[in-house]
Amino acid sequence: MNLAGPMNDSPHESGEKLLDEAFEGLEQQAPNRITPIIHWLRDPKSRIVRIPIGILLILASFFWFLPVLGLELFPIGLLLIAQDVPVLQRPVGKMMLWLEHKWAQQQCQLTRPGAWEAIY
């Protein structure tokens, strides 16, 4: 994962490369039992399943107010669809890398000494 930030990437960097980096970051953050599912969904043979799952995740994200579903489903759904739609690869890859960067920053802030004292 590029912790320096996704804004430092080259303007000529391919969308496919950005998408690969985003998937790698997602795999690093995902629990071990989820990683094989991500690998399977990235396989070209899984296209027939990947697109409907991506659409369902995007639709499910609109029910974020329910206890089981959340807004995090939206970027994951976009990531799955972008795998097959070249026009979406670059913007979705950059968005996911930015989100992963912000997530890493948030985790660092919460793990520093005294971070929880400011919250309570």
Q: Is residue 16 part of a domain?
A: yes
Gap between the Cα atoms of 46 and 27, Å rounded = 17
99 occurs within a structural domain: yes
Are the C-beta atoms of 92 and 82 separated by less than 8 Å?
Answer: yes
Residue 44 lies in a domain: yes
Q: Which of 4, 29, 26, 48 shows the shortest CA–CA distance to 93? A: 26
Instruction: Give how many domains the chain has, as a whole number.
Output: 1
User: Given pLDDT bands bounded at 50, 70 and 90, which one contains residue 116?
Assistant: low
Any domain includes 4 = no
Residue 91: inside a domain, yes or no?
A: yes
Residue 33 domain-assigned (yes or no): yes
Q: Share the mean pLDDT of the chain.
A: 81
Confidence of residue 23 (pLDDT cuts 50, 70, 90): confident
Question: Does residue 5 lie in a domain region?
Answer: no
Confirm whether 32 is domain-assigned: yes
Tell me the CA end-to-end span of the chain in Å, nearest whole number.
32
Taking 90 as the threshold, does the pLDDT of residue 69 lie above it? no
The range of the structural domain enclosing residue 95 comes to 12-119
Asked if 51 contacts 59 with a C-beta cutoff of 8 angstroms, the reply is no
Nearest to 79 by CA among 30, 9, 3, 18: 18
pTM of the model: 0.69
